[in-house]
Amino acid sequence: MSDTTKYAFGMIGLGTMGRSLLLNMADHGFAVAGHDKDASKVASLNEEGKDKDVKGFGDVAEFIHSLTTPRAIMMLVPAGKIVDAVIDELTPLLDKGDILIDGGNSHFTDTNRRVDELEAKGLHFFGMGVSGGEEGARRGPSMMPGGDKEAYNVMKPIFEAIAAHVNGEPCVTYIGPGASGHFVKMVHNGIEYGLMQLIAETYEIMKKGLKMDNASIGEVYTKWNEGRLQSFLMDITKDIFAFNAPGTDHLLIDDIKDEARAKGTGKWTSQVAMDLQAPIPTIDSAVSMRDLSKYKQLREQASTLYSQAEPEMDVDKEEFLAALEQAFYFSMIISYAQGMHLLTNASTEYKYDLKLGEIAKIWRGGCIIRSAFLNDIFNAYQNDPQLAHLLLDGGVEDLVSETVKGARKVLSATIGAGIAAPAFAASLSYFDNFRNKRMPSNLTQAQRDYFGAHTYELIGKEGVFHTQWTKKND
Annotated domain spans of the chain:
9-174, 185-435, 442-473
204 is annotated as an active-site residue: no
Mark the binding-site residues, compressed into ranges. Answer: 105, 131-133, 188-189, 193, 263, 290, 448, 454
pLDDT tens-digit readout, 327-343 = 999 999 999 999 999 99
Q: Which helix (H) or strand (E) holds 157?
A: helix 149-162
- pLDDT tens track for 339-358: 999 999 999 999 999 999 99
- On whether the pTM is more than 0.85, the answer is yes
* Catalytic annotation present for 192: yes
192, 238, 267, 361: the catalytic one is 192
Low-confidence ranges of the chain (pLDDT < 70): 1-5, 473-474
Q: What is the pLDDT of residue 474?
A: 58
pLDDT for 241? 97
List the binding residues for substrate: 105, 131-133, 188-189, 193, 263, 290, 448, 454
Nearest of 317, 311, 335 to residue 197 by alpha carbon: 335
Whole-number pLDDT of residue 258: 94
Q: Are 327 and 410 in contact (CB under 8 A)?
A: yes
CA dihedral sign of residues 133, 161, 104, 39: positive
Question: Which CATH number is 442-473 given?
Answer: 1.20.5.320
DSSP character string of 98-116: -EEEE-S---HHHHHHHHH
Query: Domain 185-435 falls in which CATH fold?
Result: N-(1-d-carboxylethyl)-l-norvaline Dehydrogenase; domain 2 (1.10.1040)
The CATH-assigned architecture of domain 9-174 is 3-Layer(aba) Sandwich (3.40)
pLDDT at 437: 95
Torsion from C-alpha of 275, 277, 280, 281, nearest 10 degrees = 90
Catalytic residue (one of 41, 52, 55, 185)? 185
